[in-house]
Amino acid sequence: MFEQVFQWILKWLPEAVHPYVMPMLVIAIVLQVNLGVCSYLILLERKLSAWMQDRHGPNRVGPMGLFQPVADMLKLLLKEDVIPGHVNKFLFVLAPGISVFTTFLAFAVVPFGPVPDGLTPGDGKFPFIIAPGIDLGIVFIFAIGSLAVYGIILGGWASNNKYSALGCLRASAQVVSYEIPLGMSVVGLAMLNSTMSIEKILLNQANQGLIGWNIWYQPLACIIFFIAAMAEAQRLPFDLAECEQELIGGWHTEYSAMKWGLFFLAEYTHVITISFLTSILFFGGWHFPLIAEADSAYAGATAVKVFVLLSKVFAVIIVIQMLRWTIPRFRFDQLMSLAWMGLIPLATINVVLVMFVKQFELNTLWLFPLSIATFVIAGLMATQSSRPFARRGPAAVEPAAHGGHAHAH
């Protein structure tokens, strides 16, 4: 139905603009939906945190607080936009824009539905992706996503504030550290699928059915990818760059009104991108047995596939939000140790395991027990190595030699 309407619209437009109509339409849809979804994901997180902490969440603005995101947006738009006199004004204003631009640009190669085969500009097919056909889609996302930290660094440095400076230094060290395991986690995935195209990896899983989901072959890579991606997105328990107990607000201490809102929008867009990638790379994307197969052609099959993918994405987002209120924030030395002494060695071992299986032409299902065994052994080793450094409690007061009472000194 949608394609018929679109073909009718194309008849009334010059042929020269046909290749540009569909991409612009997809961009407009993605931007508008993303803005609305981010607003209500914030409401969902506030409601979820209230439920986990046994308290009431937003419930005053509209029925059940459903209009709270609208009130928050009006507040950010109408609030006084303060720019302190001691900041570098150009970079101070530029930083939020860089963060939002890079996070939205990374989403350009993420499919949010079944991408049609043989897609060409102007053919009238809805592509379910902004930029189809990029063979190095994973590399593109990592390259663009890592640039988002420049907005944080510029915002912290331009604020001319010691708390902001410490926050942006933490952010830069964190991104540099976790970019390595994040990139290495998908190397084994690319070797198994012989491609780094997100669309082809999704289609490979769909063609093989449930047994083809990459989570069965790369469970260790999935764990590493998820942890490293959360650290790169500055989500709790990895939000050391804004740690309010130590740095007030870190790199965004001096920001207010809509500039602060843009930083928040960039963070939630990054969360959505992480959830899409986790669902697509490891959990089959839009594929689900019986109802959303690669050859499903019944009426409404495309809508079902989109619904399946969005359901998986929503489940990952819920996990990310629940982790925020479950795991306490790391110390900065723990944050660095987790990357350099934990995730990077595990990612290296995972790549070696994939190379071993491919070299000796073993059944790829062997990767599941090998990956789980590696993760368990690494966990046991980390537990044992941390015991000598456990903090001891206060020394016990020994009884006095005479009278059986301890004397105060």
Q: What is the pLDDT of residues 149-193, one digit of tens each?
A: 888 888 888 888 888 888 888 888 888 889 899 999 999 999 998
Range from 62-76, 86-100, 109-123, 153-167 carrying the lowest mean pLDDT:
109-123
Q: How far apart are the first and last CA of the chain?
A: 86
Cross-strand pairs, 292: 288
Range from 48-57, 148-157, 346-355, 396-405 carrying the lowest mean pLDDT:
396-405
pLDDT of residue 396: 46
Dihedral (Cα; 259, 262, 264, 267), 10-degree rounding: -140
* Residue type at 188 in one-letter notation: G
pLDDT of residue 187: 92
Contact assessment for residue 178 and residue 228, using Cβ atoms and an 8 Å cutoff:
yes
Sign of CA dihedral 25, 27, 32, 36: positive
pTM to 2 decimal places: 0.86
Tokens of 151: 């907005």
Q: Name which residue leads in pLDDT, 408 or 228.
A: 228
Q: What is the mean pLDDT of residues 60-82?
A: 88
Range from 11-25, 199-213, 285-299 carrying the lowest mean pLDDT:
11-25
Q: How far is 343 from 185, CA to CA, in rounded Å?
A: 9
With b for 16 or more beta-carbon neighbours within 10 A and e for fewer, the 128-145 pattern comes to: bbbbbebeebbebbbebb
For 303-312, the pLDDT digits (tens) are: 899 999 999 9
Helix axes of 18-52 and 257-282: crossing angle, nearest 10 degrees: 100
Confidence band of 386 (pLDDT split at 50, 70, 90): low
pLDDT of residue 261: 86
Which has the closest alpha carbon to 254: 86, 76, 42?
Answer: 86
Q: How far is 307 from 313, CA to CA, in rounded Å?
A: 10
HEC per residue, 158-208: HCCCHHHHHHHHHHHHHHHHHHHHHHHHCHHHHHHHCCCCHHHHHHHHHHH
